[in-house]
Structure 1
Amino acid sequence: MENTGYLIMNSSKHLTYDLNSELRKQDLTAPQWAVLQQINHYQQERPTTAKQLVTLLDMDKPTLSVILKRLEQKNFIIKKRSSHDSRSYELFLTDSGKQTYLSGEKISEHVLEKFIAPLSIEEKRQLNELLQKLNGV
């Protein structure tokens, strides 16, 4: 039996590679899409800030800063000064950003379905349960 850690890391690597390959067609990377995904999710309740994204995505500040700058240049997000704290900015998806997020969502679902296609319905359910358990969900 191969090392479980290696198998998990290798699966993650292949999934990330496939996702990046498909997202590149939308002029997007997996980390950029993850940022759009989080902004979209929290925009429903209340706007998010870069500081919150650093924690949510477990990403360092310089990396996130570069991603936010690129997303802003592509007109996918806008930053507005926070009404609660004048030192921070709240992040919002533009209409173009919302469309890109939705496209990325479809791409992500397609890539994942293709990746787990060899599994039976029961195996997919078991995998999901095991991953939730490992991630403390």
Structure 2
Amino acid sequence: MILYDNLEEITYLEKLANYLSSKDIELVLTNNDEMQEINKNARNIDKTTDVLSFPHDNSFLDTNFLGSLVINTELAKTKACELGHSLEDEISLLFIHGMLHLLGYDHEIDNGEMRAKEIELIKEFNLPTSLIVRTLD
């Protein structure tokens, strides 16, 4: 289940979330300025970005909470227009990317496992290629 931050339910993301994990996640949709502030505070990087993942440390409590995803809808709109696909598709791609990070994947240090999983999910849900896949070309 997705726990929304002041949002109505987004059913297409529920399908992705349920496919990837039975655990709850928090989803926050934001804009460039707020995302830059979050990125600066959380990662000491003073610029906006498209998606951030914050895994929950379940080592102290046995909870059903996987973590939090923050998606920059302003940047997603720009990228969707630039690439010629829908905002829904771009948000879905960012959601998959963030969820894989919550599940422990890391494309910066793995041997292609995250890319392979992302390609599998893109095909499963009939989505356009994502940033991580586009960088392989």
Q: TM-score, normalised by structure 2?
A: 0.24
Greater Cα radius of gyration, structure 1 or 2: 1
Structure with the larger helix share: 1
Q: TM-score, normalised by structure 1?
A: 0.24
